[in-house]
Amino acid sequence: MLKLLGLVIVVLIVALVVFIRTRPDRFRVERSALIHAPADVVFSMINDFHQWGRWSPYEKLDPNVTKRFEGPRSGPGAVYAWSGNNKAGEGRMTILESRPGEFVSMRLEFFKPFAATNQGTFKLVASEKGTHVTWSVEGENTLMGKAISAFLDMDALLGKNFEEGLANLDAAVQAETPKPELEARAPSLKVVPAVAH
């Protein structure tokens, strides 16, 4: 009986490993939102890691997190490293490329609770009502990532954080810039007068 039980356990473990290995090799999570501010205002809040404490949902994971900034204050080469509790973990973000009012790309390195390197991107598109921001992260699905994704919906889990972060970003930029200034800096609408017949 014990021999049969042991055999069943081995078969289940092998089946689980095989299932985990069939999970996708790469992942991508993306969310978009309208931020009610001009693209240059939104860009400055994303392109400067010193501003992330005002809107990033990950900042509240550990109020006592240790932060370290390196390189230039903003733009390519700017680095934000952190070390915190089990929820915050330990890692580093480095801005690789940025185009004012359009795009910020960064490398995301995680050291704890487990190692991973991903690509983070913010795309900004100006509109008459503000700026459409798309926040995405993608990378290789490690064996640990595949195992986690077999039991948790990572898109829903990370996506919820992105949605919260974009809502926070909207609130932060509106608090940063007085409404009359936002309206003055918003793209103007061309009004074509009616022609009398």
Q: At what angle do helices 143-151 and 154-176 cross, to 10 degrees?
A: 90
Domains in the chain, start-ordered, CATH in brackets? 33-179 (3.30.530.20)
Which band of pLDDT confidence, cut at 50, 70 and 90, is reported for residue 52?
A: very high
The contacts of residue 146 (CB under 8 Å, 6+ apart) are 20, 21, 23, 24
Sheet arrangement for strand 130-140 = 26-35, 130-140, 116-127, 103-112, 90-99, 79-83, 66-70
| Peptide linkage before 113 cis (omega within 30 of 0) | yes
Quick: pLDDT tens for 116-169: 899 999 999 999 899 999 999 998 866 565 556 555 566 777 889 999 999 999
Beta strands 66-70 and 26-35 are unpaired
| Residue 66 near residue 148, CB atoms below 8 Å | no
pLDDT grade, residue 14 (50/70/90)? low
More confident residue, 12 or 120: 120
CB 123 within 8 A of CB 131: no
How many angstroms separate the CA atoms of 44 and 42, rounded?
A: 6
Residue 188 has pLDDT above 90, yes or no: no
Which pTM value belongs to this model? 0.76
Q: Does residue 95 carry a pLDDT above 90?
A: yes
